[in-house]
A and B are shown apart, each in its own frame.
Chain A
């Protein structure tokens, strides 16, 4: 009985001591991941001369990126509607599309025609910043090229159909930080 009591006491002591011993050796590492911030540069208002079928606009870029990483990217969706006349009695519209292209040689296609609702991706880098220009997928070439030049494309026939008046259209750029799961 005495032996059993002694053994029970020893077990009880060990039960108390073991966690204390483990706590003494425990090390906790902590880190805080900051949320990403950036500045998106988009085109302001621009006058497009009548009849111009391809008009260069200010390129869309992302700067001052922080808190990004490889596969943590910035996705920008561009939405727009056809040019509408400021005079409500004129009902003709002038449709257009957005074309972005790369100056890099040896890639195909070197330009992409994007419709309203299409997205462009600015890739996050290992140093936590962002690529300044969006990249697009090319079917040939060593790497995906950057979209460095943007143009509004209006078909000549659509200029021809438009009745006289002042037309305007605004674009909306919707940005979101996305994590690529691949």
Chain B
């Protein structure tokens, strides 16, 4: 595929009436689970939803104990059926991502457990799980190096890049890319997380990178608004 073929025209009409660079309307709810130390639900247009519940920093099994760091335990459950190989991959990927953003050395010899439950699945679950995890960690008050936001992007058969794809768009895609960016401005060109599947050229990858960067900054702004609204509501009373 040549360079001219990859483009992000804004006039593409997607099945849900979005343009190619538009993310679905987001919704986020924090602290609604009563038995955990922190929780969040992150949803895209109420069609894809992930719930995350955090326990911790809490007691750790002796075999998992790390002397100078917190042990990060991730449990991941899909919306249908029991966890399989694909879900184990998601689990490992999430664990390795959160290992880098949690300040683990501030809570040595403890465990921080993240429980993910997909409740609705219509594409971009990987990105939503990262976003739900971050919001839940913030709710639990776990110290974080930075706030991150993730977003997916896919290249369809015509070479168009589509941001925040639905499941149908992902099924027909040639390649799928997911990136996460932090809210630290100087790091804005280094993704915290990058995962690509399928066949793609360097130009396509770069285009998705730029597209996702813009999308992630929108999600970061949304997260900030969410937290500001929640805190100012509490302070009013």
Do A and B interact with each other, yes or no?
no
Instruction: List A residues at the B interface (Cβ < 8 Å).
Output: none
